[in-house]
Structure 1
Amino acid sequence: MCGACPGGTAVSRLTAYANLNGLTSEVTALLQCAVGSRMTLSRFGGRWVLRKRTGQQFIASELEAVAGHIARTGAVDWEQLQAAAEITVEPYAAGPWRTSPYDAGFKQILDTPPQRADPTLDARQFTVALLVHASNALAA
């Protein structure tokens, strides 16, 4: 369960937003595009499993943790993600941060309870903003 239903497992706002708006499958596919052949991303139950070619696994129940792990390992292929999502991600002129056209909508999702958040971002926009957010958190 996504945590939005009474008695369910509590999950983060971003994961609940993706679940409530039916974005989970497409976001998972786009995250797989972002890591290319370096890792395999799959869903198992209510969790995501990232597997490296060496057999090492990372299991997470929240999208932020998956995106954070992908960013930490340096596995984001920005060109491949931009091609798959048809969205441009720009590096800031000064510093290691990135920006996307959907950062404001993403911040609104972070600041609003999932049940009240307007479905302002589609899966492509959400995934790009999620990876930009995770990458910027590491650079800070």
Structure 2
Amino acid sequence: MRLPTNLFSAIALLATVPAWATAQSLQPVGTISGGNAVALETRTVKRAAKEITATLRTTFLKPAKAPGGDWYGSRTNVAVRCAEGTVAVLENRYYGDDKFTKIANERIVKIPGYAAPVPGSVPALALKQLCPAK
């Protein structure tokens, strides 16, 4: 493969990259109560020796009624310890628009607590998706 020899060739090559290739990749991982879809933001997955961190996005079928306005979805940042089968929620953000641009509520956990996740929850889906079956 030959590299572009001038600036115009390089620009033309970059222009052919589809927009979806540079966008956040979402991988569906399941649903939680009420049929709300949960997807893994694949570019957020970071693997370390004992822990995996990742962000999962939940899109609400119907906006949730909350003081200050409706919530259309959430992003949950989790830390998963596969060997122990535990998960800690690090951050939770709820969004006041369907494009996930207007943060309506934000909770950042100062001291994360690791525990076995509640079945059918976002942390349970994270554990199932990120840890290989034994």
TM range (shorter): under 0.3
Higher helix share: 1
| Higher Rg of the two aligned structures | 2
Which protein is richer in strand relative to its size? 2
Highest RCO, 1 vs 2 (Cα 8 Å, sep ≥ 6): 1
TM-score (norm 2): 0.26
